[in-house]
Each structure stands twice: as structure tokens, then as C-alpha cells.
Amino acid sequence: MYPQRTGLILWVSDLKQTKQLEKFGTIHYVSKRMHYVVLYVNADKADEATKTIQKYPFVKKIERSFRNEIKTEYNSNVPDKANLYT
């Protein structure tokens, strides 16, 4: 099916060279004002991509996105108050 993807937030000094990052994965967003790039890569190759990208001179810092680890299934233990108003 689909490969597991993970997000990398790349803080860059120059936005002109962000085209070079397309060979590592999919560029999702480029912030012109804050100078960062959101890049999605395959999870199994994320460590290799991080080491290679860090060598570029225009990359200041790399952060890993924790979006995959956030719980998105919620349960409500609060009783439903809709019955009180009928």
C-alpha cells in the first residue's frame, strides 16, 4: 500500500536552493517569511536523508515532525448533556 511517511522541518538560510531538496521527498510547504521548508520523506530513509541534508550549506537546522505520534482518536468520558435539555 502506501509507505509510511514522516515530516521534516528544515530551517534554511536561502530559499533559492530549496529545489535541491525535492530529490529526498515531497516538499509540502515553503515559508518565505520564516525561511523553513516542510518535507515529507519515507520513514525508513528519514535518518539517511537527515544526514545528507544536514551537509548542505543553506540548511541551518532540521527538526522531525511529531505529527505521526499524536493521538487522533478521542474518547469522551463526560456524560451527554443533550438529554437534559429535552
80 domain-assigned: no
Read off the pLDDT of residues 2-30 as tens digits, 9 standing for 90 and up.
889 999 999 999 999 999 999 999 999 99
| Domain assignment of residue 22, yes or no | yes
**Residue 74 belongs to a domain:** no
pTM: 0.78
| Structural domain count of the chain | 1
In a domain, 57, yes or no: yes
Burial annotation 49-67 (CB, 10 A radius, 16+ → b, else e): bbeebeeeebbeebeebee
In a domain, 34, yes or no: yes
Pinpoint the alpha helices (H) of the chain: 46-54
Residue at 61 is within a domain: yes
pLDDT, position 86? 66
Tell me, what's the pLDDT at 59? Answer: 96
Q: How far apart are CA 80 and CA 69, in angstroms?
A: 29
> Contact, 14 vs 58, CB < 8 A?
yes
Q: How many CB atoms lie within 10 A of CB 39?
A: 25
Q: In which band, very low, low, confident or very high, does the pLDDT at 69 lie, cut at 50, 70 and 90?
A: confident
Evaluate whether residue 60 is within a structural domain.
Answer: yes
pLDDT tens readout for residues 38-50:
999 999 999 999 9
Contact 41, 25 (CB under 8 A): yes
End-to-end CA distance of the chain: 47
Kindly report the CATH number assigned to the domain that includes residue 48: 3.30.70.80
User: Can you tell me the mean pLDDT for 69-77?
Assistant: 80
